[in-house]
Amino acid sequence: MFDVSSVGKIETECETGRFLRANAAMCKFVGYSEEELLATTAFDITHPDERERDRALIRRLLVGELPVFDVEKRYIRKDGNVVWARVTANVIRDQSGRPLRSMAVIVDIGARKQAEEELRASKDRLQLAFDATQLGWWHYDPLRHGTQGMRALTRFSTLPQIGRLRSRRSGRSGCIRTTWKGLPRPSRRRSIPLIRSP
């Protein structure tokens, strides 16, 4: 199961992180052969910003403060590219409880990280557009009967007044009509259509 697994699997020395075994999926993920990995350590191919964190977590794992090592981290591939993985590791101990080696499963999460970054960039671009045009947006949660957004609306009223807005579903699909109540303007109560975010 170790060698034929579709996800990366490794065994390392507990203290030094030196590779003892690495399956084909792990070798493909980081771009090294198993022989090359056996001549290095897990820390050597870990992103520099996360090496000390990993060392601290492994120390806690060895003394029993943590039952498992479970983090999202970056590896540096042989070609220099950075790849994201979720690493779950535990310690193999002898009958007396002495650590013998650590075993870890490495799952490629690069696609998820890329999707998260693209979504974040899209939201940033949308907010820049709203800021440039001095518009705002609402998102209405029908289950919680709450809204979020309302950035532009704060220029016309205070937050307590905004909190007294009463919302109801309009007859048109994809819209919410919001009844103004207790706001200083407009001068009389009326409804305005707001585009509902998906």
88, 72 Cβ separation under 8 angstroms: no
Average pLDDT of the chain? 79
Indicate whether 154 and 99 sit together in one domain: no
Indicate whether 139 and 94 sit together in one domain: no
Whether 119 is covered by a domain: the verdict is no
Residue 157 DSSP SS3: coil
Compare 161 and 99 and report the one with higher pLDDT.
Answer: 99
Q: How many domains does the chain have?
A: 2
Indicate whether 104 and 182 sit together in one domain: no
Whether 115 is covered by a domain: the verdict is no
Last residue of one domain, picked from the residues 109, 124, 149? 109
Indicate whether 85 and 34 sit together in one domain: yes
193, 170 Cβ separation under 8 angstroms: yes
Last residue of one domain, picked from the residues 76, 93, 109? 109
Whether 121 is covered by a domain: the verdict is no
Residue type, 175: C
Phi, psi of 53 (to 5 degrees): -60, -45
Indicate whether 163 and 93 sit together in one domain: no
Tokens of 107: 């799952």
Indicate whether 64 and 140 sit together in one domain: no
User: Which structural domain range is residue 138 located in?
Assistant: 133-195
Residue 11 DSSP SS3: strand
Provide the pLDDT for residue 79.
97
Whether 120 is covered by a domain: the verdict is no
Per-residue model confidence as pLDDT tens digits over 106-150: 999 999 999 998 888 888 887 777 677 766 566 666 777 665 654
Whether 19 is covered by a domain: the verdict is yes
Indicate whether 31 and 80 sit together in one domain: yes
Residue type, 177: R
Name the pTM for this structure: 0.64
CA angle (52 as vertex; 49, 53 as ends), nearest 5 = 85
Interatomic CA distance for residues 160 and 157, integer angstroms: 8
